[in-house]
Chains A and B, each alone.
Chain A
Amino acid sequence: MLEVGNLACSRGDHRLFSGLSFTLHPGQIMQVQGANGSGKTSLLRTLCGFIQPDEGQIFWRGKRVRELGEDYFAELLYLGHLNAIKDELSALENLQMSAGLAGYTVSEQQAVSVLRRMGLQRREHLPVRVLSQGQRRRVALARLLTSDAHLWILDEPLTALDVGAVGLMQELIGEHLSNGGMTIFTTHQPLQVAGVQMLQLALS
């Protein structure tokens, strides 16, 4: 369970949001809405611990995130604007490396089957440099399938994805939620997860 109490954040002198509180339970999904520059990315980065909030606390399973540190990171998966993949490596190597950085190993067999599911068959061994933007995003999203993190924080996961991939994302998020996971995301595209009530958080 993720609890946020009275959170305030500013960038420079500009106050982005203040007095922000919400609770996210297992199986719940929340969409952060707001215009460009309203602080959506800053909120997600604050939840990840990159940015220290001006005020307020973030609790994970009843404990403060600051004190949990690496135990919190083990249950967190963050996907930002940047794909965090290396142009020089193949999709397969990228997936295995990013799994390694997140603290677990993925066998080649498992990685190949995950990439197939992401629609990257016969692209597994190509350097990511030669793939299209949408395919790179798919390589980055493949991490979701190998990880067993409970909390997904996704910043614009649908950028550059085609209709088929958006459908696949909805399916993946649905599976994650039904396994008791939680998701917080931002998007400017419609995203519907079947059978789940989506919480909304509007920043202004």
Chain B
Amino acid sequence: MKKLSLLGLLGLVIRRDLLLAMRRRADVLTTLIFFVMVVSLFPLGVGPEPEMLRKMASGVVWVAALLSSMLSLPRMFSADYLDGTLEQMLLAPQSLTALVLGKIVAHWMLSGLPLVLIAPVLGLQFDMSLQALWMLVVALLLGTPILSMIGAIGAALTLGLRGGGVLVSLLVLPLCIPVLIFGAGAVDAVNSGMSAVSNLSLLGAFMLFALVFTPFVAAQALRISME
């Protein structure tokens, strides 16, 4: 019998969540399809005015990304909670924080990364320029992990509550407003010919800050929820 290192545990949790998602693909696809649908509805609803579409593109994509990540949040811990795996996780002899970090990374790979990859295709509907599309991808790449990290706290706190899905959105969405502002702002800056460095640095700073604090806070929230 070999002991598992902290990195080994992290890898195991990520591998496990990805494997489970592969066996239950519908959950991953619903988030992605929701995102595609919401973004695609705007050009249809607003009309084919290129100037206006270009202007609202980044905001629409960001809001849709925010909403679809809320859609997948309640699932982060609920399956493990219902079948008792979460009890075993709380009894893990390694750090629960590392374990939660693993779950956050897996959640981002399943719900955030697909959005980042498909966003440029959707951006074409809005007649976005190449630089703007590129900036959209970079900003989403920095921003979507923050959504998963902050969301983990909300998901942990609302575990096992009735109507937890709505509650988690109410808890988490206000906290994600800075991400929305600076994420959409980065693309707008490029559109108006300015540098997006300040927006991206702020997003990066948020991400690092969240990376340090949120796994620990979410782990404590899980302990409270399990009592």
Residues of A within 8 A of B (CB): 48-52, 70-71, 73-74, 76, 78, 80-89, 93, 97-98, 100-106, 127, 146, 148
Residues of B within 8 A of A (CB): 1-4, 8-9, 12-13, 16, 19-20, 23-24, 82-85, 87-95, 99, 226-227
B83 touches A82 (CB 8 A): yes
- A84 surroundings in chain B (CB, below 8 A): 83-85, 87-88
Query: What 6 A-B pairs come out closest when comparing CB atoms?
Result: A82-B84, A74-B93, A88-B23, A84-B84, A100-B12, A103-B93
Q: How many A-B residue pairs have CB under 8 A?
A: 90
B4 touches A80 (CB 8 A): no
User: Nearest Cβ in chain A — how far from B16, in angstroms?
Assistant: 5
User: Nearest Cβ in chain B — how far from A115, in angstroms?
Assistant: 16
Q: In the assembly, what is the distance between CA of A102 and CA of B87, in Å?
A: 11
Chain B: interface secondary structure? helix
Q: In the assembly, what is the distance between CA of A49 and CA of B184, in Å?
A: 45
A88 touches B24 (CB 8 A): yes
B3 touches A104 (CB 8 A): yes
- B12 surroundings in chain A (CB, below 8 A): 97, 100-101
Chain A: interface secondary structure? loop
Beyond the given A84-B85, A100-B12, please list 5 additional residue pairs across the A-B interface where CB-CB is below 8 A: A101-B9, A102-B91, A102-B92, A103-B93, A105-B8
Q: In the assembly, what is the distance between CA of A103 and CA of B13, in Å?
A: 11
User: Nearest Cβ in chain B — how far from A142, in angstroms?
Assistant: 14
Q: In the assembly, what is the distance between CA of A50 and CA of B91, in Å?
A: 9
B83 touches A86 (CB 8 A): yes
- B89 surroundings in chain A (CB, below 8 A): 101
- B90 surroundings in chain A (CB, below 8 A): 49-50
Q: In the assembly, what is the distance between CA of A87 and CA of B85, in Å?
A: 12
- A52 surroundings in chain B (CB, below 8 A): 227
User: Nearest Cβ in chain B — how far from A134, in angstroms?
Assistant: 17
In chain A, what residue has the closest Cβ to B88?
A84
B84 touches A70 (CB 8 A): no
A81 touches B84 (CB 8 A): yes
- B99 surroundings in chain A (CB, below 8 A): 101
Q: In the assembly, what is the distance between CA of A102 and CA of B3, in Å?
A: 9
